[in-house]
Structure 1
Amino acid sequence: MLTRISNSPRDYAWGSRTLIAELEGRRPSGAPEAEVWFGDHPGSPALVEDGSGRTLDTWLAEESAALGVPARLPYLLKLLAAGAPLSIQAHPSKAQAEAGFAREEAAGVPRDAAERNYRDDNHKPELIVAISERFEALAGLRELDATRRLVQALGDGPGTRALRAHLEGADATATLREAIAWLLGPASSEDVVDVIAAIDGARSEEFAAELALARSLAKAHPRDPGVVVALLMNLVTLMRGEALFVPAGVLHAYVAGLGVELMAASDNVLRGGLTPKHVDAAELLSVLDATPSGAPLLAPREVAPGVQLFDAGVPDFALAAVTVDTGTAELDLSGIALAVAVGGIVEVTGASGERVTLQPGQALVASAVESPLRLAGAGRAFVAMPGRP
């Protein structure tokens, strides 16, 4: 079974007005276009283009037994186009999600309530691969000594003195956790305003890009403590084809660019600023991994000619990047797969002989019995499938 699927872009305010339209080769709609979901998530299930009018969640539920496919996908594949920074956020581990979901269910918090933290009982590790020339993100907490140098560039106002004091601890992880707890708490409000004001005049050759981003964040989110939290995070620029993997507890915020995103099938988000949405600082801190490190980059490995696999070692998903140029590339599937083309023309043929041609932005669903998939033409596609158990 090899069947085309489609969906419409979601118009979140942070979405780009051009990137998805340019990929698909069409005129921009005029509205922000943030994400296109290729999956069965009930928030925006893809449409199965088999003439039945069914969405992918309904299609899987009704056809799973006959086709030998699962009734639910363990992952969600997206095109993500950021025209403005997303909220600073982290996601829970599986155990944290199960406990949090059970707690809110017992408390009777409606699943669609704005203050709900856990809308399901699943974790949400996620992977993003840049498909624009550049993709910018904040990901993970910077090494503490480097952050101290950045804060030194902010001058000597009362807020920056208070921030420096909160960054003086010997244990880097505990120090960063306490600093974030302070920034997101009510006691810091005047100091946060002072730090944000100091950003405008700060100069540093080492941290010029970080300060430039902070100034733009401050204009969009005045008085938001997330602007200062962002100063503690790694600013990452991915070039086309490079990837970030964000495991449970790691703070991140995508800033600008177009990428293919793959995540576990969950809607659990704990926010830490740069958003008008609900911020539960205590709950965020309960899942936060405050260990400082470099950016969480994920390098692929070549598994076949023209096929690179991004494998984060989670059971929910793995992502193959397939490039073909007049020849043919073969990909062994580990289960039901979704494929999306991001350049050129890609012809996908399954083991049954079924064939679907994809242009940029077009996608399909393939059952595991179609393995190996053969991709031909001259283009590039990404194929999502289950990961290692």
Structure 2
Amino acid sequence: EIAMVEKRMTMVIHAMIGAMVKFCHEMTPFLWGLLPRIIHAYRTYALDHVSNIVSALGQYICYCPKGLSEKPDYIKLILSMVEFTFFPQGQGSEEQIMPSELDMLIPAQYAAKVVQMLLIHLKGKLDPIMSAIIQLIFKKLARVLTLKGEIERRNEEDKEFYIENANGVKIVLLETISLALHYNPVLFLTVCSQMKKTSQLFTLWMESMKDLCSQEESLGISTLGLTSIALLSPNQIPPEMKGQGLLKLLSANVQQLIELKKMEDSKDDKGEETDSEEETQEFEDVDATKDAISEKDMEEIRGLAQKIRDVIHDDMQGARNDAYLEEMFEPLYRLDKFQFFAQVMSRFPQINPEAYQAWSSAMSPQQRQVVQQLINLGMSRVAKKDESKER
């Protein structure tokens, strides 16, 4: 019971810190001083509160990006928390038993999300440490890929659990790599080339396309990264990517965008069907009870029923995905992937005319038509966005 109380208190404290950072009008030295304590708590006794820790850190990253960018030591401290989660070391302490690396696969997904927040909210402010960030992500990705042998030695029940978690880490790390590529494609590929990881990375990226296409969020992030490649001038493209390598990546990105549009359309269709079903059921309920209940009472009942549905829906969403993290990724969600593609493609012929011509020549008339349709879709959304701003 004491342990449960302590756990709940830890959760409450980190939630309070996050709320103070989010809603305060001005960051104080006291609030900044809490950040190192959050990291210390995580490393010493709060490993099993990783979601609460990430939520608290996310408030600093999302709501105080300017202040954080002026405190490079704090950014490094946050990254030390990520590294500690990726590669747990030591025997732990009386307060905390150090779990195995396999048992840290789920926390590793949260840690990668912290890096994603940094890339989103501190765009242009991480250049001095981007090399260290990329190397850390690559190191963890390589480690996850080699964990297969350890997982195979587990019993069947554990095996399925750990394989699923390892695959989850791989996808989140590929998302993070994609955001790093979108953050600064030249810097990212320069580091990759120095590490001699470029070919290996994009091979893995293409092999993982099926997994990336299983989730709309992952697929959207992947398109941002691959679209950003078209912003590179000829002398900025690593030798191992030139020629057919670049054309394959551009074509793979088109396939991703096609799948993303299908997901959008499917989601819209399901939303319409759900609305229609709910409306039909509501009308049936009203018809069955209209003689027994007054219209005023029915309005109250409908309102209560809707609130219950909303609560259930929110709970289900939270169970599938950490909904509380969504606000921290809002800038990413607001960035329309088709608009970005259209805007980049409008610049591609001027940035790299030779690659653009080679890509156009390699496509069939039907493929060129599909690319043009995607560009038109993006430009129409840009126009609608501009119209709404004018209003």
Question: Who wins on radius of gyration, i.e. which is larger?
Answer: 2
TM-score range with shorter-chain normalisation? under 0.3
Identify, as 1 or 2, the structure richer in helix.
Answer: 2
Flag the structure with more relative contact order, 1 or 2, with Cα contacts below 8 A and sequence separation at least 6.
Answer: 1
